[in-house]
Chain A
Amino acid sequence: MIIGIPRGLLYYRYKHLWLNFFEELGIDYIVSPETNKEIVTSGMAYAVDEACITSKIYLGHVEWLLDKCDYILVPRISDCGSAGKVCTKFQAIYDLAANTFRDRNIKLLYYNVDSSVADSEMAAFLKMGRFLGRKKSRCLYAYFKGKQAQKNAQFLELNEQQHLLKENKIKILIIAHRYTIFDKYLGEPILKHLHKLDTVPIIGDIAPKKEAIAKSVEISETLPWAFNRELVGSIILYRDRVDGIILVSAFPCGPDSLVNEIIIRKIKDKPVLNLVIDGQEGMAGIETRLESFVDIIRFKKGEFTWKQ
């Protein structure tokens, strides 16, 4: 049996947990490739026009996996308990994928995390393990191993970021969902260009999560979404150590449409750039905006020099 794992949305958050879980259970898996033009095109063809670009890309990854594996992993998350709610996209994604590819006989592997019916993540993974025909004890071990791997990875990321924060260059905090900023097609060109401009992007999503969530109330009191709370909290955690903030959202991200506005209205002491990416080809427009933003920061710091 081969499990297909779409490289999109929650993959970026849970990849260590997923991959270690399946490895420990001795189940083969394939991960769809980094997002490329074909995946984007097929995602756009299958998705509803108004859906956010990240979910369109996700469907593209699912489509890529369709004939290459036995089951495709599409988990559903209803909320993150005390940390907050999630965008309804994550509540719907399982049934969305199932209905979109119904005629192509899609077979989905899933787990459901829902605090209202006490389906904790662990219980959900055990259920999934049972479906895969593995013993409970082995699944439990695999789950904990995955969890540990995830923690280690987070620790390493944080460490690395601490080093970056010490660098003596212009540092820009990137506030973006992990599945947007780490996507090869959407976010990576932005990070690359920032490097090219001799700046250091600091990833807002790489932050101590619990601390970030606790801090987020300083900017927004009733913010419902856990993922956005983490991002907003990371602004508080990093704001004194960066020179500017870039908000990167996928068009038309529901939560971001409101949260970005709150951030822009409340953060007055740092320059903020609001970038909306919609998966169109060509980086020229975005590059120009990044360049002028970096120029503004340099100007403010008195480092601005006329080139050419």
Chain B
Amino acid sequence: METIRVSFPHLGSYHTPMKVLFTFGFDVEYIAPPPITERTLSLGSRYSPEFVCAPFKYNLGNFIETIEAGANTLVQTGGTCRLRYYGELHEQILRDLGYKVKFINMAKVQDARPTTLYRELKEINPEMSLKRIAEILPVVVKMIEYIDKVEDYIRKNVGFETIPGSFDKVHASFLSELRSVHSRKELNRVYRKYMRLFKKIEVQKPANPLKVGIVGEYYTVMEPFSNHNLERELARKGIVVDRWLNVSSTLFHYPKKKIEENTRDYVKYPMGATAMVTIDRALECAKKGFDGIIHVKSFGCTPETDVIPVLQNISKDYNIPVLYLTFDTQNSDVGFITRLEAFYDMIKMRKEMGQNFKHPSAHSNRFYPNHWGECSPSS
């Protein structure tokens, strides 16, 4: 029988826990899709419908490249927005392109009974053992939590490292060491070891650095390639980047009740997908006195588009600037960098002038937040 080589689309650094889950849990070979490049995106958009959201195109590009790299079983997830329908169309497009691979679409079993879920998982590897998966699952969950913790620490400090690149180096070896971890004990040891290493990296933080919160759509926030390395760009300017959105906070510790309570002044009903998280975090950033908020989404993301009027109100009420960034499949950085620089200059000036500075948007339409949204860097 042919070896089973499973693959799953990229999202930030999560291919590492995926590898652990599939190799040790499902007892199959795991092929991480090749790192996302221009080619991934151009392949993905060539075969995608025109105005589908960008993550669809990235995922499709990942699938095609990972098949080329030898994968023969692809897994796609379900979701609460368009994501839920990605799988079926991805499968159809790949079939029409002539690829003969097994396609596991978790959207089929999204609301299904555990037995149906079990049957679908069995498709990945018919000889899988539930016991092995039950053993590895807590390790994978914990690993995701640790990765999120580590990356949160990096976001807050990488802008101030004295030797450029020191965080990246440790981060890379942290991930590569995680790949062979398959017990909680080992995992804790690796985590503690690397946390110590991260803390040892010399940083020179000013007393009161600029602080920016990143909110927005799931994929585009978390996949650095798809947001033109936004977090890195901000760090390079010496900004503390705060982002709550990650897999562990949304999938494992989602504070539904609390979010509904916090956002009550602005919204009555959940607005779909990550919309409530976006509003909740933007409010949190505003209340904590951040210097700015950056709203990130892919073009046409309906829930995140609908959030914008709410963010505009928050921006007015708390007098906090919001930059609205939309990413599609363009490959030029220029428009994006210019807007980011303008935003940076503005929040820096506000900070220097103290709390008394009022953003012109509070008074006139000249810099009305909507205008930030209008000049999105689309191709």
Which A residues fall within an 8 A CB radius of B? 48-52, 76, 78, 85, 87-89, 91-96, 98-100, 102, 112, 114, 220-224, 251-252, 254-255, 257-262, 265-266, 276
Q: Output the least CB separation between A44 and chain B (Å).
A: 12
Complex alpha-carbon distance, A50 and B328, angstroms: 12
- For A112, the chain B residues whose CB sits under 8 A away are 269
Chain B binding surface SS class? helix
Shortest distance between the CB of A70 and any CB in chain B (Å) = 19
A92 contacts B49, CB within 8 Å?
no
- Stretch of B19-27, B163-171, B245-253, B307-315 at the chain-chain interface: B307-315
A222 close to B313 (CB less than 8 A)? no
0/1 interface trace, chain B 102-116, chain A, CB 8 Å (1 if under)? 000101100000000
Which residues does chain A contribute within 8 Å of B326, judged by CB atoms?
A: 50
* Given known A51-B305, A258-B52, contact A88–B273 (CB-CB < 8 A): yes
Residues of chain B having any CB pair with chain A under 8 Å? 49-53, 56, 81-82, 84-89, 92-93, 96, 105, 107-108, 266-273, 275, 299-300, 302-303, 305-310, 312-313, 326, 370, 373-374, 376
| Minimum CB distance partner of B378 in chain A | A50
Q: CB distance A51 to B269 under 8 Å?
A: no
Residues of chain A within 8 A (CB-CB) of B376 are 49-50
Closest CB in chain A relative to B119 CB, distance in Å: 15
Q: In the bound complex, how far is the Cα of B313 from the Cα of A261, in angstroms? A: 37
Point out the residues of chain A lying under 8 angstroms from B81, CB to CB.
88, 254
Residue contact A95 to B52, C-beta cutoff 8 Å? no
Q: Are B300 and A252 in contact (CB under 8 A)?
A: yes
CB distance B305 to A91 under 8 Å?
Answer: no
Identify 11 new A-B residue pairs, CB closer than 8 A, beyond the known A223-B88, A276-B51: A48-B308, A91-B269, A93-B306, A95-B268, A96-B306, A99-B312, A222-B87, A259-B85, A261-B52, A262-B92, A265-B96
Shortest distance in angstroms between B226's beta carbon and chain A's nearest beta carbon?
16
**What are the 8 tightest A-B residue pairs by CB atom distance, in nearest-first order?**
A88-B272, A92-B271, A92-B306, A252-B51, A261-B49, A99-B309, A95-B267, A252-B300
A258 touches B85 (CB 8 A): yes
B89 lies within 8 A of A88 (CB): no
A260-B92 Cα distance, complex, nearest whole Å: 13
